[in-house]
Structure 1
Amino acid sequence: MNKPRGRPVRGDGMTRGQILDAALLLLEEGQGLSMRALATRLNVTPMSLYHHVSDHAGLLRAISDRVYAAVLAADAADEDPATRIRTLLVRYHGAVKDYPQLTLAIFAQPAAFAGTTRDITDRLIALLGMLTKEAVLWLEILVDHAHGNALAFHALRDHPQQAASMQSRYLEALDQLLARLA
């Protein structure tokens, strides 16, 4: 049976939002995200996806733009740089914790590192640059710390007390690092 081009069997049109929702679900289910698997999930031809996203990296960028958008929510420009850095990192940590497979997929495909993920990095570097001449080094320390802790949550998803303790330790360590930096 041939599938209609770009349309689900029901005959309804497909939106970019539906594609991103299905792709994120595939990622977080651990199914692996390929254009073919996504098309199968959506009951469309793989080529129809390319009307909405340029390629696999473009798909990951679009998903990350959606997931990480809240990280860049307006921060209080009147706050000191260390507080603004903390706010960004806590939001980012939460997004990585909530969507670990997305972060791992971006690690695996460097071309997907653009858009909002790049904007987060640029904002952190600018803020860190207000506190130190070693902004890139501190970026790597702080972001690696956020990644390591947030990705470890996946293993603790069925252990809420341990997860809460890990969250608390993350915040405590982040505060210690920022105190050293400031």
Structure 2
Amino acid sequence: MARDDILATALAMLDEGGGQGLTMRSLASRLGVTPMTLYHHVEDRAGLLRALSDRVYGEVLEVTGDARDPIAEVRALLVRYHDVVGKHPQLTLAIFSEPQAFAGVTRQITERLDAMLATVTPDFVLWRDILVDHAHGSGLAIVSGRGDWLQVDALRERYAQALDRLLGMLVR
């Protein structure tokens, strides 16, 4: 049993049925192994969620805007983050319900956002919270449009417009 197989199956289970249905026992059953087999690859459910978030949210850190323009860089990071939240909303909700899972890449995203915003405003923590909460709310709303790509695209466009408005307020 490979770690990649475990993570891929766990993510599929989250996407299908939500965070509450993902237990070590249910994952082991889906994979046709004993739960103890999983513990050789992840220490517990929080560790499983950390590994999933590192895999899924890792691509958010790869995307940057113009390093000479911190607002453009913040925008690029948040748009990418919003897209990932919209693609895997149940992972985001599972991380909310398991605070120990907030580590690794998710913490790095927060730290990078703090650093970029600190170059623009002394209230960077407040703005980070506003911007991240907006990304979460709008990204989770995409679930309602699944199956209708025109609606999903419209929700993404509205998010980008609202984000631009918020970022415009930030630099006044």
Query: Does 15-24 or 153-162 show the bigger shift?
Result: 153-162
Alignment deviations for residues 43-98 of structure 1 (CA, whole Å, 9 cap, x no partner): 00001101000111000000000001110005356331101100100010010010
CA deviations 1:130-178 (Å, max 9, x no partner) are 1111111101100000000010110111233222221111100101111
1:29 corresponding residue in structure 2? 16
State the AA in 1 paired with 2:56. Answer: V
Which of residues 149, 156, 165 is equivalent to 2:138?
A: 149
* Bigger Cα displacement from structure 2, 69-78 vs 48-57: 69-78
Task: Write the mapping of 1:161-176 to structure 2, written as runs, cut at 5 A.
Answer: 161-176=150-165
Match of 1:75 among 46, 58, 64: 64
Bigger Rg, structure 1 or 2: 1
For 1:78-127, what per-residue CA distance to the aligned partner results, in whole angstroms no more than 9, with x for missing partners?
Answer: 33110110010001001001000000000010110000000000000111
Q: What TM-score comes out, normalization by structure 2 length?
A: 0.95
Aligned residues: 169
* Structure with the higher helix share, 1 or 2: 2
Which amino acid is the alignment partner of residue 118 of structure 2? G
Distance of 1:137 and 1:129 partners within structure 2? 11
Is 2:74–2:117's contact at 8 Å kept on the other side of the alignment? yes
Moved more, 68-77 or 45-54: 68-77
1:79-90 alignment, distance < 5 Å: 79-90=68-79
Mapped pair 1:113 → 2:105: no
Distance in structure 2 (CA, Å) of the matches to 1:93 and 1:74: 12
Residue 9 (structure 1) aligns with: none
Which of 127, 132, 146 matches 2:116?
A: 127
Aligned residue number for residue 170 of structure 2: 181
Distance 1:78 1:60 in 2: 31
Contact 2:63-2:77 within 8 A present in 1 as well = no
Question: What percentage of aligned pairs have identical amino acids?
Answer: 56
| Alpha-carbon separation, structure 1, partners of 2:68 and 2:157 | 23
Q: Show structure 1 runs of 5+ residues with no match.
A: 1-13
Secondary structure, aligned partner of 1:114: coil
* Cα root mean square deviation, aligned: 1.2
Q: Is the 8 A contact 2:10 2:22 kept in 1?
A: yes
